[in-house]
Structure 1
Amino acid sequence: MQVKLEDIGKKYDRHFVFRGVSVDLFPDTRVAILGGNGSGKSTLLKVISGSLTATTGKLSIIDDSGASIPVMDYMRKVAFTGPYTEVIEEFNLREIVDFQSKFRPWRNNLSNEDVVELTGLKKVSERSIANFSSGMRQRVRLALAILADTPILLLDEPTSNLDAKAMKWFHELLEQHIENRILCVGSNHQSAEIALCTSEINLTK
């Protein structure tokens, strides 16, 4: 699969958040999208995900045979999360893992119980998400995205609300589950977030 951005720009009202972004994304591409607050990192990730339409430029999604993939079909192949992504607070961890598994399988034939274990939160898996700390919720978001069996993985400021131990957990989990995927990470130049990235799009230039 190839995701191709050609001269992409996005504006709100009369002001461009960014413009002129061109990049080809292939399996095993690992891109850091860098910039400060308001630079358009989250917006660009949403454009790449297909959930937001660019103001200028073209987004093309091409399968292995060279055929174009409709955006709605492409969006099913994308796992996207950020610290603002909603989680169903009424569910406990086991329930939210079971719920997500109905829409997407897990990587490497992982079971729901495997996913619960990999969050590192098994001891509190019966507790309502509403009673989780912000760091625990972020672990849930990240695990659900990283472990989803999708060829595209988009992470926006993934270490937000994580302590040092959780950052190590994130790095190890991501490293184990990025093979043959397109990875894009939105970051405010945080080394812990972009350590595995090999190229960058700098929106502050």
Structure 2
Amino acid sequence: MIEVTGLTMRYGRALAVDDLTFAVKPGVVTGFLGPNGAGKSTTMRIVLGLEAPHAGTALVGGRPYGSLKAPMREVGALLDAGAVHGGRSAVAHLRCLARSNGIGRKRVGEVLELVGLAAVADRRIAGFSLGMRQRLGIAAAMLGDPAVLMFDEPVNGLDPEGIRWIRGVFRRMAAEGRTVLVSSHLMAEMALTADHVVVIGRGRLVADAATAEVVAHFQRGVLVRAADRRALADVLAAGGASVREEDGGLAVSGMDATRIGQLALARGIALSELTPRTASLEDAFMELTEESVEFGAGRAA
């Protein structure tokens, strides 16, 4: 498990992480979300011992990352796919990493095969596309077969096949009982991938809950279509709901679909549609972080 407790980090006068506390548990894919400048990358760097916080702790399996003797065997991470020596081949890069952590050469071949780079293993990394570099970074993260995996924007540059593939990898790793933390700005992809989300804004925790719970919290009401729309509107309004006409139907808030159906049945009003309108993860994210956006764009003319 990854445990972050009271984490605080400053860069001059800028407070990048502000008394942040959360835990990433094994067995689920956890999405780490927040606007630009929210402190996600800084937090991940602190967890990996690349930054020293001004206050608080970041532990992996109950220990600081810096105390791990063979860290790649316990934690796999991809923070920057471009942080590789372009003059090396993919296989040479991975063999170098493997040797530093006591990992055998056989495993290098396995991860190259796993990420789809076996055919270009001897090519220089300088000639790789962004998507190929992402795959190489993912291979490096998985090299030590670790129990904890951390990825910062792992789908950047991947084509649709690659995105579906890495989504399956995350889910399979979580199903094996591993801890998987994925930071991304792609809300639609996170909605398909993450079982749990940790949302931060301006370095502070905004939400820490199951993805379904976060989305359900921002339900948009219910769309109803009925043979006698006016009669149904009167019934629902009398029951305490807010009702307005929309696209030939009724947009209802303040009453769930089950209760709407019960009232319609009691009055003998036939329904042709009864659709709960839930928010998307993107909608929920935008509302949760609307006060935390550092660089907000203006509206187009």
Give the TM-score category using the shorter length: 0.7 to 0.9
For these two proteins, the number of residue pairs brought into alignment is 198
**1:103 paired residue number:** 100
Residue 115 of structure 1 aligns with an amino acid whose one-letter code is: V
SS, match of residue 149 in structure 1: coil
Q: Which has the higher contact order (CA 8 A, sep 6+)?
A: 1
Q: In 2, Cα distance between the equivalents of 1:54 and 1:202? A: 20
* Percent identity of equivalent pairs: 24
Indicate if the aligned counterparts of 1:50 and 1:74 stay in contact, CA closer than 8 A: no
Q: In 1, Cα distance between the equivalents of 2:173 and 2:101? A: 15
Indicate if the aligned counterparts of 2:111 and 2:142 stay in contact, CA closer than 8 A: no
Q: In 2, Cα distance between the equivalents of 1:62 and 1:26? A: 10
Indicate if the aligned counterparts of 2:29 and 2:171 stay in contact, CA closer than 8 A: no
Q: In 1, Cα distance between the equivalents of 2:54 and 2:120? A: 44
Indicate if the aligned counterparts of 1:33 and 1:185 stay in contact, CA closer than 8 A: yes
**1:122 paired residue number:** 118
Of 154, 158, 168, 1:158 maps to 154
SS, match of residue 191 in structure 1: helix
**1:18 paired residue number:** 17
**2:26 paired residue number:** 27
Q: 1:18 to 1:72 in 2, by over 3 A?
A: closer
Residue 140 of structure 2 aligns with an amino acid whose one-letter code is: L
Q: In 2, Cα distance between the equivalents of 1:31 and 1:24? A: 10
Indicate if the aligned counterparts of 1:154 and 1:184 stay in contact, CA closer than 8 A: yes
**1:146 paired residue number:** 142
How much has 1:129 moved relative to structure 2?
0.8
Aligned 1:51-90 pairs, distance under 5 A: 51-61=50-60, 63=62, 69-74=63-68, 76=71, 77-90=74-87
Q: In 2, Cα distance between the equivalents of 1:28 and 1:97? A: 27
TM-score normalised over the length of structure 2: 0.58
SS, match of residue 192 in structure 1: helix
Name which one, 1 or 2, has greater alpha-carbon Rg: 2
TM-score normalised over the length of structure 1: 0.82
Structure 2 gap segments, 5+ residues each? 202-288, 290-301
Q: 1:191 to 1:110 in 2, by over 3 A?
A: farther
Indicate if the aligned counterparts of 1:10 and 1:19 stay in contact, CA closer than 8 A: yes
How much has 1:71 moved relative to structure 2?
4.0
Q: 1:89 to 1:22 in 2, by over 3 A?
A: same
Of 185, 189, 192, 1:188 maps to 185
Structure 1 gap segments, 5+ residues each? 64-68
